[in-house]
Chains A and B, each alone.
Chain A
């Protein structure tokens, strides 16, 4: 297990009257690819800016390699940032942009020229040395921003939605490139996105956030398969989140009908949230199903169909399947016990937002 490279301890930050981060704790291991994932305005950029040195936390400390760097100015931190809005130097050519950090480090011209070429090849923009940033498209500018950061070979790279302006194909290419970079150069990545698919594809560890609180930390698999609450389940991929009652261990009642599941440790007759992934809702002939329903809509999504079913137990299910069930047809619905995720209901509004302290940090690696 590699050592903790960055540690945020007990960080709180407000802007005016709005509390953005509240007693946040997080650590990042060396050579880990950590993704901060959450809806707009949840404080992702603020965390990156605190790590980068552009904001000081009101309370709490930032540690880098065991040293307290909370008060260290950005230019003396061994990390580089790819900013959400690119922030290229508009009055300099692309080459000058990329060379900026290297010139400060007093590298010789030969080295700088090679680095620029290497970086431009890497981001798939060879020959762009003499162009001005304004003459580039948003996606191209974003890639230059990545190139400008990585030529400095920082220990840690902070990336704030660096692929947001790219089309799907280019985004996938860049995702592979970034992962390759991480493996080749041994850089630690702290990556911000609100695209859950991107987070699942690239990360070693995902940190799911909502309104300044960490909801869950874990591997992509554990976050997807075992979300700790309805927010995470809803945010990571589409889900059926259904009210249910836990009758006893391994038995949950939905809409008055009992289903077998694998969860234990709930109170008798405790109201719970039941999460079922759309791809786990199996459709078939009416006779074989645990319950039945009528297809109300079907949308073609490329790899699969997305189907809405009004079920006999009064619940609307969303299902994903490669089979075509025309609207109006009657179907049988089944879900195997493993695919029910049972969660405690939040006790109050406040608990809807879960503090990190409620969840021991189980970052694998």
Chain B
């Protein structure tokens, strides 16, 4: 009884530490005063200036475009990479996974500077260089989402399809791809959030004049924190939350459907 109660308190404390700052941030974004401590009334003013600012809106568009494009590209490349790694022998697979994991564990600042040095040599820094950078750091996430799905996949179903007359491609599209789809989707959304999240690598690989939300906020803050930034941060948080819920519904609903299907029959 006491243990149960203690457990609840513990979870409560964790929740407070995790979410109280965000709650405060959201509250402040509706505060009429610019003060960080005084509540002087409710307002939408900061949101109005936020959505009125062309610089912010442009950065928002850039962020979204970067996230979607880099996630889509990385998903495609990551899918092929995962298939390649899966069909390798054990030793080769280990080596490939090792190299896949390096960018994940590498400090962002190292990746950022390295990519910058590389890009400066070959192309003007700008949207395309950030996009390339995001694709680069997104690929490992996609691979890591797809590979487990591949490994638990029943390869005999693929063989059965071939046996029934399917070409390799048709068998892949009809039999393997549906099984891999949850992994690919998870990888895609992971990549979207990673891309929206990133500041350091973007900061180093962006040229002058291009801004994502995170680099824009950073630039603004150096001039002093304005309440619009609270509003912007709240919007970002909401966006990520929506994506998370969407992913949950997407991957969860399938299982529910599956269960009810089984229930109907059983």
Contact = CB atoms under 8 A, between A and B. Distances in A.
Interface of A: 52-54, 73-75, 80-81, 83, 85, 87-91, 100-101, 104-105, 131-132, 134-135, 148-149, 152
Contact of A91 (B165, B178, B262): B178
A101 B159 CA distance: 13
Contacts of A131: 265
What size tier do the contact residues of chain B reach? 20 to 34
Contact of A90 (B157, B168, B265, B266): B157
Contacts of B157: 87-90
B261 A132 contact: yes
Shortest Cβ-Cβ A-B pairs, 3 listed: A101-B164, A87-B156, A87-B160
B178 A104 contact: no
Given A81-B160, A87-B159, A88-B157, A75 B167 contact: yes
A89 B161 CA distance: 8
Given A87-B154, A87-B156, A80 B163 contact: yes
A85 B158 CA distance: 13
Nearest to B261: A132
Contacts of A81: 160, 163
Contacts, number: 68
A87 B155 CA distance: 9
A86 B172 CA distance: 19
Given A89-B157, A104-B165, A132-B265, 18 more contacts: A73-B162, A74-B159, A74-B162, A75-B162, A75-B165, A75-B166, A75-B171, A83-B163, A87-B160, A88-B157, A88-B160, A89-B175, A100-B161, A104-B164, A132-B261, A135-B261, A148-B164, A149-B164
A83 B159 contact: yes
6 contacts: A73-B162, A74-B163, A75-B162, A75-B171, A85-B156, A87-B159
B135 to A, nearest CB: 30
Interface hub of A74, A85, A88, A152 (most chain B Cβ within 10 A) = A74
B162 to A, nearest CB: 4
A187 to B, nearest CB: 15
B165 A105 contact: yes
B159 A54 contact: yes
Interface hub of B157, B160, B163, B168 (most chain A Cβ within 10 A) = B163
Interface hub of A53, A85, A89, A101 (most chain B Cβ within 10 A) = A89
Nearest to A54: B159
Given A83-B159, A100-B164, A101-B165, A91 B179 contact: yes
Contacts of A134: 262
B161 to A, nearest CB: 7
A149 B164 CA distance: 7
Contact of A75 (B163, B174, B179, B261): B163
B39 interface: no
B170 interface: yes
A104 to B, nearest CB: 4
B265 A135 contact: yes
Contacts of A132: 261-262, 265
Contacts of A91: 178-179
Interface hub of B160, B164, B171, B174 (most chain A Cβ within 10 A) = B164
Nearest to B175: A89
B58 to A, nearest CB: 43
Nearest to B254: A91
Contacts of B165: 75, 101, 104-105, 152
Contacts of B262: 132, 134-135
Contacts of B265: 131-132, 135
Contacts of B159: 54, 74, 83, 87
Contacts of A74: 159, 162-163
Contacts of B170: 104
A80 B261 CA distance: 30
A54 B156 CA distance: 10
Contacts of B174: 100
B160 A83 contact: yes
Contact of A135 (B154, B166, B266): B266
A311 B175 CA distance: 62
A319 B171 CA distance: 54
Contacts of A101: 164-165
A149 B266 CA distance: 27
A134 B174 CA distance: 18
Interface string B236-266: 0000000000000000000000000110011
B75 to A, nearest CB: 20
A54 B261 CA distance: 34
Nearest to B162: A74
A104 B157 CA distance: 16
